[in-house]
Structures are given as structure tokens and as C-alpha cells.
Chain A
Amino acid sequence: MDSGLSDQETGKRRIPLALKILIAGGFGVGKTTLVGAVSEIRPLQTEEVLTDAGAGTDDLYGVEGKQTTTVAMDFGRITINEDLQVYLFGTPGQDRFWFLWDELAFGALGAVVLADTRRLADCFPSVDYFERRGIPFVVGVNCFDGAKRFGVEAVRSALDLDPDVPVVLCDARNRQSGKVVLVALVEHVAARRAERVAAT
């Protein structure tokens, strides 16, 4: 819904289109590294009103009634052309910030779930989250130096993924590699859309 000034007042300026992609995964898996590798990364402060999830975790002594906490997130912007921008949002890794995810996920094009094969279980919550909400996602297996490499099929099986969910080996530090993961996601979104159209 557009609101506020009339067209005349805004000079009929063209409003670009912004697509939102989430970069999810466990704490320390390389989300910030990936966002920084493919876009100009900027910090975003989200001063949030605490829910019960954070109770007892933050020392709020003295600020009763103003229960807010600062959650720092990263985001990056990729300019496709003057009318089209892609925004990457790294999701906060800690469980107590789950309440931020729903807002981030609203209207998102899709998500990249970064996985570290040494701690594969860390990305289970992210996979569950996007599966339940029907948000398209790909799994990027971040191949850290010296990390034991598992094949794509081993990861797929361990995560119990649907057969159509792409699994891509990547290096989150590498721009080319990060681009490959993002392209895999957008192509996956397009393929899912084509299936849905075919089914109707």
C-alpha cells in the first residue's frame, strides 16, 4: 500500500524494486562473511522490545518497563540495475532472537542456509523454519579450511532435505562462490514458481 505524498509531490519518481534474501545458519558459520563477500556490508541496529524469550538473559536492572535490547545484524545491497536491488540480511544466530526472523522473512524471495559440516546440527533450526513456512531455500555448505569435506548427497541425507532443495558447496569468503550460491537460490525460486504454474 502506498501512502503519503501525492504523485505530483514526489515528482512521479520511479521507485526501485527491492528483493530480500535471508542468509541463515548457525552462529559463526560464515553468514557475515558471505554477505561481505558479495555486497557492501553495513551494520544494522535493531533495538528490539524484549519478549519473554530474552528474560533472564539480559541484565535489565534499572530499566524496568523499557525492556529493549540491541541486536546487531548485517545487511548488504547488490545493485542489479537502477530499478532492481537485492538486499541480503544475515539472520541473528542466537535462539533468543528468533522473534526477529518473522519480520525478516516476511515477503522474502528466499533464503540461503549456510552449513558447517563439523556442526551440521546448527543449521537444523533454519532448515525447519523455512520448510514450515514454505520459503524457498538452498543449503550452502561452507567448506572451511581443513574441515572434513562431505559430499553434497551426504549433507542432503543428513539434513533430510526434499529432493528439489539445491545443496551447493561454497567458500563464504569467495565472491565468485557466493554468487554461485545466490544464483542457485534465484534459479530454485524460478523453478518452484514454474512448477506451481504448471500445477494450476
Chain B
Amino acid sequence: MRSDAPGHHHDWLDDDAGPVVRPYTMTGGRVEPSAGRFDLVAYVVAGPPYEDGDDDPQPPPEHRAIISLAQQPITVADLAADLNLPVGVVRVLLGDLLGNGRISMYDPPTSRQFPDDDILKAVVNGLRAL
């Protein structure tokens, strides 16, 4: 289990490593994000989409997919479902993108006073109107 970014030399793949669990190959074997906590209902908002040639090396396709999906605010859970990837993998990818300054994260408020009565009333009315 590593949390540092993999280099070009995959020194974590030695004779003792055994097979890599497949979805984590796209995280370079990392299971913990390098930054951020990423609640399932935290929103992700991406900066401008990648343009050809503006990055070297080219970003991996999963990064492109996340940037594309997060042009509108999207939750971590929805991202994982849209990408059909395990949440743990998505969190590692989001950590990299957060580190690169490509995305913003908005965690849900956690105050004891939250949500207030107006929000709760709106939820009740909204549920009844479904």
C-alpha cells in the first residue's frame, strides 16, 4: 500500500508483489488518495477540460473522463457510478486531480445546526410532491 505517486519505474512491481488487483492498476497500486477525504456526497467541480497538447505527459483517460463529467458539479458517488469504477479508485484519482489543481472539492456541511428548518421543510415538501 503506497500513497506516493508512482514514478516511471514501477519499482513496486517486484517479484514479491504478486498480481495487482486490477482496478488499482490505474492508480499505480495506490489505495489512499494523496489529498482530500472525498465524502460520497461531496461535490467535485472541474476546471477547464483538457486540450490536446497542453499537458506533457498526456493525462490518463480516467483523468480526462473525470474532468469531462465534472464540468457541472457532481458527487463522488455519481462519479464512481458514471465511471463504473470502485469508489476507492475514484478517490485516488480525485486526489491526484486535486493536487494538480484541476478540480475543486466541496464537502457537505457537518455542523450540528445543519440542515436548518427551512431546508428540512423543503425536503418534506419535495418528497411529498414526488
Contacts of A33 in B (CB 8 A): none
> Is A43 a contact of B81 with CB atoms below 8 Å?
yes
Given the interface contacts A10-B104, A46-B88, A47-B89, does A84 sit within 8 Å of B45 by beta carbon? Answer: no
Give the contact stretch, choosing among A117-125, A160-168, A178-186. Answer: A178-186
Complex: chain A residue closest to B36, CB-CB: A3
Given the interface contacts A3-B36, A5-B47, does A70 sit within 8 Å of B86 by beta carbon? Answer: yes
Contacts of A9 in B (CB 8 A): 47-48, 104
Report, as a range, how many residues of chain B touch the other chain. Answer: 35 or more
- A-B pairs with lowest CB-CB distance, top 3: A47-B86, A80-B126, A4-B104
> Is A45 a contact of B86 with CB atoms below 8 Å?
yes
> Is A78 a contact of B126 with CB atoms below 8 Å?
yes
> Is A193 a contact of B101 with CB atoms below 8 Å?
no
Contacts from B to A (Cβ < 8 Å): 1, 17-21, 23-24, 29, 31, 36, 39-41, 43, 45, 47-48, 72-73, 75, 77-78, 80-81, 84-89, 98, 101-110, 115, 117, 119-124, 126-128, 130
Contacts of B130 in A (CB 8 A): 38, 78, 175, 179
Contact with B along A1-29 (1 / 0, CB 8 A): 11111000110011111111000000000
> Is A18 a contact of B108 with CB atoms below 8 Å?
yes
Contacts of A68 in B (CB 8 A): 21, 24, 31, 88
Give the contact stretch, choosing among A90-98, A99-107, A142-150, A151-159. Answer: A99-107
Contacts of A179 in B (CB 8 A): 127-128, 130
Tally of contacts, chain A with chain B, CB under 8 A: 158
Contacts of A186 in B (CB 8 A): 120, 123-124, 127
Complex: chain B residue closest to A181, CB-CB: B127
Given the interface contacts A3-B104, A63-B21, A68-B31, does A16 sit within 8 Å of B88 by beta carbon? Answer: no
Contacts of A15 in B (CB 8 A): 43, 45, 73, 106
Contacts from A to B (Cβ < 8 Å): 1-5, 9-10, 13-20, 38, 42-49, 62-66, 68, 70, 75, 77-78, 80-81, 84-87, 89, 103-104, 106-107, 109, 175, 179, 182-183, 186-187, 189-190, 193-194
Complex: chain A residue closest to B121, CB-CB: A190
> Is A190 a contact of B18 with CB atoms below 8 Å?
no
**Residue of A13, A16, A47, A190 contacting most chain B CB atoms (<10 Å):** A47
Contact for B101 among A1, A5, A78, CB less than 8 A:
A5
Contact for B122 among A13, A80, A106, A107, CB less than 8 A:
A80
Contacts of B18 in A (CB 8 A): 62-66
Contact for A183 among B39, B47, B84, B127, CB less than 8 A:
B127
A186 to B72, CA, bound (A): 28
Complex: chain A residue closest to B113, CB-CB: A193
A1 to B17, CA, bound (A): 37
